[in-house]
Amino acid sequence: MENITFDMSTMHMYGSAYFDYLALRKRFFVDTLGWDIPHNDKVEMDQYDNPTAHYSLVLRNGRVVGGARAMATTASWGQHTYMCCAMLSPAS
């Protein structure tokens, strides 16, 4: 297992990990739990995925299997304030 951490200014250093995390979120929240949240056929992404967010992802054999998104309690982006979200893959 490997843990990577990044924000939008450093996500490019980890290849497709950010996109893979958004895809994992879509599979979990939309496909598994049936939540009606912003998504397309591939990924789930919302207003909290912005430059104030920080990500910590868990990779197993190079594949994203879990992750968390966090923001400082003082963060704001447009009309939105902070929020935190964590989840693990159902197959973890």
What the chain holds in terms of domains, given with CATH numbers, is: 2-88 (3.40.630.30)
pLDDT in tens, 67-88: 999 988 888 777 766 665 555 5
Do residues 85 and 20 lie in contact, with contact meaning Cβ atoms separated by under 8 Å?
A: no
Tokens 């949240």 locate to 37
pTM of the model: 0.83
**Given this model, what pLDDT does residue 77 score?**
77
Which DSSP helix (H) or strand (E) runs through 49? none
User: How is residue 25 written in tokens?
Assistant: 């979120």
Rounded to whole angstroms, the Cα distance separating 85 from 49 reads: 11
pLDDT in tens, 4-45: 999 999 999 999 999 999 999 999 999 999 999 999 999 999
- Give the torsion sign (CA, 49, 23, 61, 11): negative
**Given this model, what pLDDT does residue 78 score?**
75
